[in-house]
Homo-oligomer: A and B are copies of this chain.
Amino acid sequence: MESLRFVLPQSEIPTHWYNVVADMPNPPLPPLGPDGKPATPEQMGAIFPMAILEQEMSAERWIPIPREVREIYRLWRPSPLVRAARLEAMLGTPAKIYYKNEGVSPAGSHKPNTAVPQAYYNKQAGIKRITTETGAGQWGCSMALAGQMFGIDVRVFMVKVSYQQKPYRRSMMQTWGAEVFASPSEMTQTGRDVLARDPGNMGSLGLAISEAVEEAASRADTNYALGSVLNHVALHQTIIGLEARKQFEMAGDWPDVVFAPCGGGSSFAGMAFPFLADNAGGGRSGRMVRLVAVEPTSCPSLTKGKYAYDFGDSSGFTPLMKMFTLGHDFMPPGIHAGGLRYHGASPLVSQLYHEGLIEAVAVPQLATFEAGVMFARAEGVVPAPESCHAIRAAVDEALRCKQDGEPRTILFNLTGHGHFDMASYDRYFAGELEDFEYPEEAIQESLRHLPDFA
């Protein structure tokens, strides 16, 4: 009986993260302060530990993973690479389809890959508490888990509407010992101001970020952690692709094309960058790997946005980053892949896309759920709505292979399970979901609000 799961021994957990900056044709553009001048490490030091800032700025190709971090990774890593043989048969495709299952982490997604080192470096720096924000709760759970592992307190500002309507990820954060506050809260000036003006305010991710950053900036023993977008986050996630490369060697195969969902960009970066290293060297045995970021048509930052300096948050508190953006006040419709509702994309992913080293595609919501259900029926695993985007693109590629008669090897990143997203599946089955195609004029309108020097 053929093996369908390629599981590395724990001794093969990578010892270094891969930093794509070392292989980029041009150095990354720096973040800018509100004055338009490059933001300094000192400015960012109020909320991040120096070790993280060094990684954020580093051009070293290989960054060592601390032993303590690898010891925690050991709780669920290496994650399996799985051949989706039943999905192939269901599609009748000559393609080979593989997926990397990041849903096996205790928090249920790839997010702990960066939450764990972030907790570790903050602990090393003598920090007692980390603040962060969360929407539906994926990132908050990962940070809660990571904080618990290193004995560091975690305060999560959770968008109030999710806090009330999606209590189960909140319970999970509490199980791991985190404090969870509905945002806007009475804990911060930002929250109090909003509540004074609008007591019934149900919150937003931008507001929750503001609360978390305010608390971190105002306390010496408290730092802030972000779950996507930034360079150090992309760096930590490269453990996904690094493992996948080894697993393909085990399988005696190699991908022709790689798909990963792309919101802020960390799961795409994590899977794709290590293969980009091969491409930079002329490809493995001359074989170049296509690397495709998959975003929702409702929030198409790479495929329809502008490459420009913009704020990372919706309120304009963060430094400006050069990235593909729909405008920081772009408000994507309430699709169910909450993790992909971000107006921009990681500066590293953006620059690589701008330079033509990676590709991007946008897929509509209904087609993603259709692919997710197909995948669940073939392979068992019920995927997160974010992951369904990568599945859709992989299925489309497999169907093209069927048409072409080309047996290409497809890899996608199954970023998480859908156990906390069953209400979205319910709405899909009930025919209550829609596709959103954002009108060009609306995008142009929000792009008019970019900072002057963008």
Contact = CB atoms under 8 A, between A and B. Distances in A.
A31 to B, nearest CB: 33
Interface residues on A, range: 35 or more
Interface stretch (A33-41, A189-197, A394-402, A420-428): A420-428
Classify the interface of chain A: helix, strand, loop or mixed.
helix
A377 to B, nearest CB: 5
Given A373-B175, A382-B172, A426-B167, A1 B106 contact: no
Interface stretch (A5-13, A214-222, A241-249): A5-13
A103 B67 CA distance: 28
Contact of A426 (B74, B171, B379, B419): B171
Contact of A422 (B10, B13, B107, B167): B167
A404 interface: no
Interface in A5-32: 5, 7, 9-11, 13
Contacts of A417: 419
A10 B7 CA distance: 9
Given A1-B11, A169-B422, 17 more contacts: A1-B10, A1-B70, A1-B74, A3-B74, A5-B10, A5-B74, A7-B9, A75-B86, A104-B104, A106-B382, A148-B377, A167-B422, A171-B426, A172-B382, A175-B373, A175-B422, A417-B419
Nearest to A106: B380
22 contacts: A1-B13, A1-B67, A1-B70, A3-B10, A3-B11, A75-B380, A76-B380, A105-B380, A107-B380, A145-B380, A149-B380, A167-B422, A167-B426, A171-B423, A171-B426, A172-B382, A172-B425, A174-B426, A175-B376, A175-B377, A176-B376, A419-B419
Instruction: Give the number of times this chain occurs in the complex, counting copies.
Output: 2
Nearest to A383: B175
Interface of A: 1, 3-5, 7, 9-11, 13, 67, 70-71, 74-76, 86, 104-108, 145, 148-149, 167-169, 171-172, 174-177, 373, 376-377, 379-382, 417, 419-420, 422-423, 425-426, 429
A197 B409 CA distance: 60
Contacts of A172: 382, 422, 425
